[in-house]
Amino acid sequence: MKNPVLLFLGLIICTVPCKPQMSQTIHPEIKRHLIEHVRTHYQTPEDYVISKFKAHDIVFLGEWHRIKHDPELVQKLIPRLHSAGVYYLGFEFARRVDQPLIDSLLNAQVYDEQLARLIVFKEFVHWGYQEYVDIFKVAWNLNHSLPVGSHRFRILGLNNSPDWSFVKSQDDRDKGEVMRKVWHGETEEDWAKVLLDVVISKGEKTLVYCGIHHAFTEYRQPIAIDGKFIRFGDVRAGNYVFQKIGKRTITIYLHAPWINADGYDKPPVLPADGYIDALLNEIEPEHQRVGFDLKGTPFGKLPGETSLYKFGYDHFTLETIYDGYICQGPLSSYRGVTPIKDFVNERNLEEARAQSPNPSLRNATIEDFYEGAVQDADIPRRLSVLK
């Protein structure tokens, strides 16, 4: 027999025309069922992630990027993962070719902050944010607290090694012959190969921390133009893993904005048409930081009509796109990560200029790179369109 609560919730969502924003109230019946579910099944984000490894081998934790509490959550998870027998973290923010550097960093007798920054810089010259770099420090601290002979924790660099120096103008970004030189044959299948060869082949488990679009497992990301579905886009890292191991891998989303149904160049929208933030603004503060399943729950039935993610799916709801969800407060409370003042400096300025995806920065100054990082990490400004 179908759950009457879910049927009732689905009926309300289909028949109530409101799409709540952060400052609006939520429909009383929807609010009641969602709050009851959170209170009854409450888990902290840390407990929730760890619990998923009981039935799954690879858990993708997908983020929007540059939100301070997201990399801080990963920092908190690292010792918990090790205690649970999960000894790997797949990491978007480091390259596969730099795995020897990562291993040397985590095994060194003295922590090397400059090497940690170099690893992140090599992956992306615009990613000078302390909270991401500090993930290496937390793993180093863990390894140096373990008894002799213990299984060491490893961070696996997943990302490709594009050469952006081939892009001389903005028009080059649309030239296939140029972009083939940039990517030199690498795809996200190479990310998946690391996870399958290094982790799964050994009977191990891993958390993967990356941007949400890389983290899609069952869900395929659509391409839509002028409100019409065109096709599904590139196969992402999580898709490749899912093709090999099925539901042994899942996707958990770190609460953040969604892509606008009118296109990537439009202001982002509230996830699930604003229902989650409306709930977070009404629920008790002690329950605002929470992790929960989507499949078969009231949250899984929430809609997504304002987002591009709906295209290509006849009955798109929250459970269509993710398996699990983590909230760490309403979007109105979000703050950005901390830019590193000298991440780009006199020693690496020329490389930063050459390896920026933005060709207009080929003559940029150190101050230009830092100011760009500051602007990108200004989360309250970037989310102001949601208020």
Q: What is the DSSP string of 32-46?
A: HHHHHHHHHT---HH
Q: What is the DSSP string of 58-72?
A: EEEEEE-S-BTHHHH
- Among residues 197, 221, 208, 108, the alpha carbon closest in space to that of 159 is found at 208
Radius of gyration of the chain (CA): 21
Contact 192, 216 (CB under 8 A): no
Contact 325, 291 (CB under 8 A): yes
Q: What is the pLDDT of residue 25?
A: 62
| Token digits of residue 124 | 């992306």
Mean pLDDT by 10 residues, the chain (387 residues): 37 40 65 93 98 98 98 98 98 98 98 98 98 98 96 98 97 97 98 98 98 98 95 97 98 98 94 93 94 96 96 97 97 96 98 98 98 98 84
- Among residues 111, 117, 167, the alpha carbon closest in space to that of 141 is found at 111
Burial class (CB in 10 A: 0-12, 13-18, 19+), 220: middle
DSSP class of 339:
B
DSSP class of 57:
S
DSSP class of 199:
I
- In the beta sheet, which residues pair with residue 159? 95
| Token digits of residue 183 | 């990517």
Q: What is the pLDDT of residue 9?
A: 43
Quickly count: other Cβ atoms within 10 Å of residue 309's Cβ: 22
| Token digits of residue 41 | 């099944």
Cα gap 200→246, rounded to integer Å: 12
Contact 22, 276 (CB under 8 A): no
Q: By three-state DSSP, how is residue 351 classified?
A: helix
Contacts of residue 382, Cβ cutoff 8 Å, sequence gap at least 6: none
- Among residues 140, 37, 62, 130, the alpha carbon closest in space to that of 324 is found at 62
Q: By three-state DSSP, how is residue 179 classified?
A: helix
Which sign, positive or negative, has the C-alpha torsion 91, 95, 96, 101? negative
Q: What is the pLDDT of residue 275?
A: 93
In the chain, where are the structural domains located? Answer: 4-386
Q: What is the pLDDT of residue 27?
A: 79
**4-386: CATH architecture:** 3-Layer(aba) Sandwich (3.40)
Residue 346, φ and ψ in degrees, nearest 5: -60, -30
